[in-house]
Structure 1
Amino acid sequence: MNKFMEVLENILLPIAEKLNNNRYLAALRDGFMVALPLIIFGSIFVVIANFPFLDKMISEDAYAAYQNALGPASAATLSIMGLFVIMGIGYKLTQHYGLEAIYGAVVGVASFLILNPQELGEVTGVIPTAILGAQGMFLGIFTAFISAELYRFFVKKNWTIKMPPGVPDSVSRSFSALIPITLTLTIFLIIRILFSFTPFETVQNFIYTIIQEPLTALGSSLPATIVVVLLIQLFWFFGLHGQIIMNSVLDPIWYALNDQNFSAFQAGTELPNVITKQFMDTFLVGMGGTGMTLGVVILIFLIGKSRQTKELGKLGGPAGIFNVNEPIIFGLPIIMNPLVLIPWLLAPVVVTIITYLTMSAGIVPKPAGIIVPWTTPIGISGFLATGNDWRGAALQIFNLLVVMVIWWPFLKVLDKNYYETEKKG
């Protein structure tokens, strides 16, 4: 095992070092770090607001009032986290160039808002919050990069307004940024206008269409499901919310299969499908969130030495129990981190295959079509999803151990890297 870890270090660490020195990837990483405190805050209240089976313990009105009271916590943070990431990327990239970083942040946000629809149905003058969150992340990241580069270009060309001596410094800086910001935003406005003449209408619609349409041909077989799982993981690695992208396309198929199983379960006949909505939600996502990162949290407590991973485990652990893993995804980080790409892709695929084969062979019951709340902890969710069968819970625990085995050497290398950096610092 030590020799294997040495090979991993020799291969992955040089790649990681080169990527970390890339100004765009560094800005991306640091931009997510800017948003991390808000993401953790929102994650905590998502768990509290959606505590499993609370809706069964109190009245419908009381539960609605409870969620309405806590809802703004996540709506103001997690639901619009893309906005904070854009700010962070624009700020950090502009700071890298030695320019006024705050203008890089604001021009990134303004450029992104210009590109997106500003109406909801027939109501104009509103911005749908969905595009400010995970759904708009991909467009937001590239908008932040491009807007910061355009702003830098115009500043370096010295296309700025020079104020006379004696003018307050804050006023002088504001006027010096006026022309570069105006030119940058004008370019994005032109892009928006050009897209309005296309069938897509907006850049956001264009991106989602070219990503989602090829996915509609995927079915519910094991090979197709493996492809779906890999795409979810890959999208997340590059900063896109893979679950939202894939679910929006495949949820109708998965729910239909789920209903077939539920009807058969009620009738006492053989369940027809292995792949259903609950297969995906309970035996993949329902193990700490996308990528089954509860296993990563447990490993952090077992083998973590660096301050960064230890503190992350403390922050991400409670949320991870209830399948909220944004703290781990953005804090480890998983996004654009080559040291974790292999286990991030491999573990869900292996678990998908194990789960599919054990259910197909009748070793573990197929999902019964019962909709289990997504925040239900591991073990309980597996038991309920398989029609109150202990084998569903046992399979989840076994899969969790598989995830930990796959992640162990890679997390060890990552933690060692952080630990060595902390010692030098």
Structure 2
Amino acid sequence: MDKIMAFLEKYLMPIADKLNNNKYLAALREGFMLSLPLIIFGSIFVVISNLPYLDKLLGAAGLTELKNLLGAASNSTMSIMTLFVVFGIGYSLSKQYKVEAVYGAAVAVAAFIILTPTVVQYGKTSKDVVDGVIALDRLGAKGMFVGIIASFISVEIYRLVIQKNWTIKMPAGVPDAVSRSFSSLIPAFITLTCFLLIRIAFTFTPWGNIHDFVYKIIQAPLMTLGSGLTASLIAIFFIQLFWFFGLHGQIIVNSVLDPIWRTLSLENYQAFQAGSKLPHIVNKQFMDTFTVGMGGTGMTLAVIIGIIIFAKSKQLKELSKLAGPAGIFNVNEPVIFGLPIVLNPMILIPWIVAPMVVTAFTYIVMSIGIVPAPIGVDVPWTVPIFFSGTLATGSIKGGILQLVNLAIVFIIWTPFILMMDKKYHKDELEAEGINA
């Protein structure tokens, strides 16, 4: 065990540290965090308009009218999520480069819009098109990777021009807002001209626009890879392993995989709204609600329950009193640092194995249709177990699956809880004997 930990500390920790401090991953993380409250707003109204038995209560016509009235909430948030992510990435990256963050964010959004097609085909022939409009999916799932790439490149060009001092300097006495606007004029002009040229260049390619090129060549293959069980298990493994060493596993791993999982969620949401079959099992809600999120990272609500049932040591009994109420709402820092989880070789096996077993079990149960896949709506992370699973899937079966998963984690952890408790209880008795 000591050799394994020494190996991991030598080779894994430097990689994790670099990922955690990478400016692009930090900007990506903050971009998605900016969009989170807006997505939750839209998700709440999607859940409301799809509550069970509403069709019986309101009738088919009444339910359709309700969905039409509430639809603006999701269309103006979830359906155009890429816009918010692009703005957030542009703002965060510009701030890291110490240039005007708001202007950097605005240029990123403008660059993305320049690349976005404004022609929508509604029929089968080339004449069945509408010009001067943007399809919602280009601002949502289908345009996510283009938006991320555009925001990174646009800010890099923008800050490079500023750092070369290719800016307009206004005389003293000019209002600050006016001065900042004029100083951003040349950098914005050069940056957006570059993106206009990219748009024009892609009109001469077989794809016609960069959106379809990125989606077919980059985004679709990555989504296929990221939606599989193998990739999910690898992600869970590293999340748990990073946490074991005291690093925030979600921040490190999600920074890389969130664009894929969020896009998968958006595609599920669009299919759900259209009444079609959900295309993906794995998405953001699958990873958050049914794997690491039941009681917090590592599903530690089951650990707290095991401690309450079995513990004889004072240390674990006191921990359960502190961690229990917080664990109900998926806050588990008391367990992670009080058990402790971090650098505790006694619990490395259940800490890593339990979430991976539950992930595989959840995937299998959903793939054979016993429980529906998550529909793509965001559930606030503090929503307790059973309720979060029900909301994420739009079915009570999702809540029941969470309870089954909790039982699986409980069974896996029980021998290790007993072993820890025995050791802690023995140490306490020896300490009392010495003190006596």
**TM-score, normalised to structure 1's length?**
0.61
Deviation string for 1:53-80 (max 9, x for gaps)?
Answer: 4234321111112112221112111211
In structure 2, the CA distance between the partners of 1:19 and 1:212, relative to structure 1 (3 Å rule), is closer
Pairing 1:172–2:179 present? yes
Q: Which residue of 1 aligns with 2:198?
A: 191
Aligned partner letter, 1:91: Y
Aligned partner letter, 2:61: D
Give the Cα separation in 1 of the matches to 2:79 and 2:180: 33
Q: Which residue of 2 aligns with 1:239?
A: 259
In structure 2, the CA distance between the partners of 1:311 and 1:155, relative to structure 1 (3 Å rule), is farther
Q: Which residue of 1 aligns with 2:244?
A: none
SS at 1:58 equivalent: helix
Query: What is the CA distance between 1:371 and its match in structure 2?
Result: 8.5
Q: Which residue of 2 aligns with 1:19?
A: 19
In structure 2, the CA distance between the partners of 1:162 and 1:217, relative to structure 1 (3 Å rule), is closer
Which structure 2 residues correspond to residues 67-86 of structure 1 after superposition, within 5 A?
67-86=67-86
Give the Cα separation in 2 of the matches to 1:291 and 1:230: 10
Query: What is the CA distance between 1:237 and its match in structure 2?
Result: 1.1
Give the Cα separation in 1 of the matches to 2:31 and 2:390: 35
Pairing 1:34–2:44 present? no
In structure 2, the CA distance between the partners of 1:165 and 1:25, relative to structure 1 (3 Å rule), is same
Deviates more, 1:72-81 or 1:370-379: 370-379
Deviation string for 1:268-312 (max 9, x for gaps)?
Answer: xxxxxxxxx68966xx67xx932262454431383899xxxx999
Give the Cα separation in 2 of the matches to 1:84 and 1:40: 13
Give the Cα separation in 2 of the matches to 1:312 and 1:160: 53
Give the Cα separation in 2 of the matches to 1:395 and 1:53: 22
- Tell which has more relative contact order, 1 or 2 (C-alpha 8 A, sep 6+): 1
SS at 1:167 equivalent: coil
Deviation string for 1:81-133 (max 9, x for gaps)?
Answer: 21111111111111111111111100000000111111222221111121212
Q: Which residue of 2 aligns with 1:298?
A: 294
Give the Cα separation in 2 of the matches to 1:184 and 1:118: 20
Query: What is the CA distance between 1:232 and its match in structure 2?
Result: 11
Pairing 1:61–2:61 present? yes
Give the Cα separation in 2 of the matches to 1:152 and 1:35: 24
Give the Cα separation in 2 of the matches to 1:170 and 1:163: 11
In structure 2, the CA distance between the partners of 1:213 and 1:127, relative to structure 1 (3 Å rule), is closer
Give the Cα separation in 2 of the matches to 1:170 and 1:381: 44
In structure 2, the CA distance between the partners of 1:137 and 1:353, relative to structure 1 (3 Å rule), is closer
SS at 2:199 equivalent: helix
Which structure 2 residues correspond to residues 256-405 of structure 1 after superposition, within 5 A?
289-291=285-287, 293-300=289-296, 302=301, 346=356, 350-351=360-361, 355=365, 367=369, 374=375, 397-399=403-405, 401-402=407-408
In structure 2, the CA distance between the partners of 1:119 and 1:396, relative to structure 1 (3 Å rule), is same
Deviation string for 1:348-374 (max 9, x for gaps)?
Answer: 762267549xx9xxxxxx648x99995
Give the Cα separation in 2 of the matches to 1:4 and 1:124: 61
Percent identity for Structure 1 against Structure 2: 45
Query: What is the CA distance between 1:135 and its match in structure 2?
Result: 2.6
Query: What is the CA distance between 1:243 and its match in structure 2?
Result: 2.5
SS at 1:84 equivalent: helix
CA contact (8 A) 1:40 1:315 kept: no
Give the Cα separation in 1 of the matches to 2:198 and 2:205: 11
Deviation string for 1:386-418 (max 9, x for gaps)?
Answer: xxxx9x9976743454478899xxxxxxxxxxx
Count of residues paired in the alignment: 330
Q: Which residue of 2 aligns with 1:155?
A: 162
SS at 2:142 equivalent: helix
Give the Cα separation in 1 of the matches to 2:374 and 2:53: 7
SS at 2:172 equivalent: coil
SS at 2:207 equivalent: coil
SS at 1:135 equivalent: coil
Deviation string for 1:308-344 (max 9, x for gaps)?
Answer: xx9998599xxxxxxxxxxxxxxxxxxxxxxxxx899
In structure 1, runs of 5+ residues without a counterpart are 219-223, 256-276, 317-341, 360-365, 408-425
SS at 2:295 equivalent: helix
Which structure 2 residues correspond to residues 212-227 of structure 1 after superposition, within 5 A?
226=229
Give the Cα separation in 2 of the matches to 1:94 and 1:216: 28
Q: Which residue of 1 aligns with 2:339?
A: none
Aligned partner letter, 1:174: S
Aligned partner letter, 1:299: G
Deviation string for 1:130-154 (max 9, x for gaps)?
Answer: 1212332211111111100100111
Give the Cα separation in 1 of the matches to 2:412 and 2:114: 43
Answer with 1 or 2: which has the greater Rg: 2
Query: What is the CA distance between 1:2 and its match in structure 2?
Result: 13
In structure 2, the CA distance between the partners of 1:406 and 1:132, relative to structure 1 (3 Å rule), is farther
In structure 2, runs of 5+ residues without a counterpart are 122-128, 237-252, 305-318, 320-324, 332-351, 378-385, 414-436
Q: Which residue of 2 aligns with 1:201?
A: 208
Aligned CA-pair RMSD: 5.1
Aligned partner letter, 1:172: S
Query: What is the CA distance between 1:177 and its match in structure 2?
Result: 0.7
Deviation string for 1:177-197 (max 9, x for gaps)?
Answer: 111100100001111111111
CA contact (8 A) 1:232 1:242 kept: no
CA contact (8 A) 1:212 1:246 kept: no
CA contact (8 A) 2:49 2:66 kept: yes
SS at 2:285 equivalent: coil
